[in-house]
Amino acid sequence: DGEIVAGIASVNEAAITGESAPVIRESGGDRSAVTGGTTVISDWIVVRITAAPGYSFLDRMIALVEGAERQKTPNELALSILLVGMTLIFLIAVVSLAGLGRYAAADVPVPVLVALLVTLIPTTIGGLLSAIGIAGMDRLIRHNVLAMSGRAVEAAGDVDTLLLDKTGTITFGNRMATEIIPVPGVSERDAARIAVEASLADETAEGRSILALAREKFGITADADGLAGASFVPFTAATRLSGVDVGSRRIRKGAVDAVKRFVQSVDPRATTGIAAFDAAVEKIARSGGTPLGLAEDGRLLGVIHLKDVVKPDIKERFAELRRMGIRTVMVTGDNPVTAAAIASEAGVDDFIAEATPQDKLAYIRTEQRHGRLVAMCGDGTNDAPALAQADVGVAMQSGTQAAREAGNMVDLDSDPTKLIEIVGIGKQLLMTRGALTTFSIANDVAKYFAIIPALFIAAIPELGLLNVMGLHSPQSAILSAVIFNALIIIALIPLALRGVAYRAQPAAQVLGRNLALYGGGGVILPFIGIKLIDLAVSALGLA
19-60 pLDDT tens trace: 566 788 888 777 788 888 788 887 888 999 988 888 787 777
What pLDDT shows up at residue 42?
A: 79
Q: What is the pTM of this model?
A: 0.68
pLDDT attached to residue 77: 81
Residues 456-513: pLDDT tens digits?
A: 766 677 666 666 677 777 777 778 888 888 888 888 888 888 888 777 666 677 778 8
What is the per-residue pLDDT for 504? 65
Q: In angstroms, how far is the first alpha carbon of the chain from the final one?
A: 78
Catalytic (active-site) positions? 165
Q: Are 303 and 294 in contact (CB under 8 A)?
A: yes
Q: Which residue has better confidence, 384 or 223?
A: 384
User: For residue 296, what are the β-bridge partners?
Assistant: 251, 299
Residue 18 has pLDDT above 60, yes or no: no
Least confident of 100-104, 147-151, 334-338, 420-424: 100-104
Higher pLDDT, 70 or 232: 232
With b for 16 or more beta-carbon neighbours within 10 A and e for fewer, the 288-324 pattern comes to bbbbbbbbbebebbbbbbbbbbbbeebeebbeebeee
Q: Quick one: DSSP state of residue 356?
A: -
Mean pLDDT, the chain, as a whole number? 82
Q: Inform me whether the pLDDT recorded for 102 exceeds 80.
A: no
Q: Which comes out higher in pLDDT, residue 464 or 388?
A: 388
Q: Is-contact 290 205, C-beta < 8 A? A: no
Nearest CA among 165, 163, 164, 167 for reference residue 20? 167
Model pLDDT for residues 313-346, shown as the tens digit of each residue? 888 888 888 888 889 898 887 778 878 888 888 8
Please give the pLDDT value at position 383: 83
Q: What pLDDT sits at residue 343? A: 87
Non-local (6+) Cβ contacts of 373 within 8 A are 73, 74, 155, 158, 159, 160, 161, 391, 392
pLDDT at 406: 86
Looking at residue 125, its amino acid is: I
Query: What is the share, in percent, of the chain residues with pLDDT greater than 70?
Result: 92
Whether residue 293 contacts residue 390, with contact meaning beta carbons closer than 8 Å, is answered with no
Facing residues of 233 across strands? Answer: 243
Q: Buried b vs exposed e over 21-34: b needs ≥16 C-beta within 10 Å? A: bbeebbbeeeebeb
pLDDT of residue 457: 66
- Residue 338, Ramachandran bin (φ over 0: left; ψ between -120 and 50: alpha; else beta): alpha
What is the strand order of the sheet 409-411 is part of? Answer: 145-147, 409-411, 392-396, 374-378, 161-165, 327-331, 350-352
Domains and CATH numbers, the chain: 2-67 (2.70.150.10), 76-135+424-540 (no CATH), 145-170+311-412 (3.40.50.1000), 171-309 (3.40.1110.10)
